[in-house]
Amino acid sequence: MPDNLAWPPPNVGRALLIFGVAVAALAVHVVHMSGASAHSHEMMMSHRGAPSRIVRDQRVGPYLASVWTDPEVGHGPMYVVLEAADGRAFTPPSAVRVGVAPVSGRLPEALHDAHAEPVRRGGRFMTDVMFDRAERWNLRVVIDGSAGGGQLTSQVNAVPNVSPGPFVLVLSLLPFLAVGVVWWRAAVARRRSVALS
């Protein structure tokens, strides 16, 4: 038999079965370890959808401020975008802080320092905030600086996180299983072809 027809190894069916069982076991393991099977995984999820503008061009001292976030339950970025008001030159603020607290009052306000991000015009500040429940939240942005400052307040509705969560892991395992199945079927076809010849 030519060496190329020795491919694949003779026990390929059993190897594929072991591989399939291993993949399934790993999938069960990771879903279990992630906690998805035991309780809601919302707390550990990040809201990473496209941010939407929840405050548009609100005057705060010498700035026009917009606030962007993806208001899903979980951790995620909140952006404060500043432009100079009244056509003046933009002077960066020295501090931008973002506070969130549930409207219900069940938690105290969590105040976060936002850090500046590089932009070509105006200023953009980002911080990580946490919405632990799908409910209405108070939002407060405090701006300080040599050019002046102030604060804006608003409210935002946190919505349930619809991410598939740990099942992304299972999805990421499937390609390896699919390639394994194709390789196995091709191996069987080759062996049959050799046997017929």
Partner 1 sequence: MTTAQSPVAISNHVALTEQSFLARLNGPWHERGLQIFMGIVLAHWAEHLAQAYQVYVLHWPMTQARGVLGLWFPWLVTSEAMHYGYALIMLVGLWILRRGFVGSSYTWWMVAFWIQFWHHIEHALLQGQVIVGRNLFDSPVAMSLAQLVIPRLELHLIYNTIVFVPMVIAMYRHLIPTESERARMGCTCAGQPRLAAA
Judged by CB under 8 A, the stretch of 8-16, 38-46, 90-98, 129-137 that binds partner 1 is 38-46
Quick one: 82 or 142, whose CB is closer to partner 1?
A: 82
Sole binder of partner 1 in the list 68, 82, 127, 158 (CB under 8 A): 68
Going by C-beta distance under 8 Å and a sequence separation of 6 or more, which residues neighbour residue 5?
Answer: 190, 194
Minimum CB–partner distance for residue 154 and partner 1 (Å): 17
Locus of tokens 């990473």: 48
Q: Which of 148, 138, 113 is nearest to 54 (CA)?
A: 138
129 within 8 A of 70, measured Cβ to Cβ = no
User: Per rule CB under 8 A, is residue 6 in the interface with partner 1?
Assistant: no
User: Per rule CB under 8 A, is residue 11 in the interface with partner 1?
Assistant: no
Judged by CB under 8 A, the stretch of 84-92, 97-105, 107-115, 187-195 that binds partner 1 is 187-195
161 within 8 A of 45, measured Cβ to Cβ = yes
Task: Give 55: exposed, middle or buried? Use CB within 10 Å, 0-12, 13-18, 19+.
Answer: buried
Helix residue ranges, H only, the chain: 12-34, 167-196
Sole binder of partner 1 in the list 55, 70, 82, 139 (CB under 8 A): 70
The 3-state DSSP class for residue 114 equals: strand
Note the residues at the interface with partner 1 (CB under 8 A).
1-2, 4-5, 30, 33-34, 36, 41, 44, 46-51, 53, 68, 70, 75, 79, 81, 117, 119-120, 124, 126, 163-166, 168-169, 171-176, 178-179, 182, 185-186, 189-190, 193-194, 197
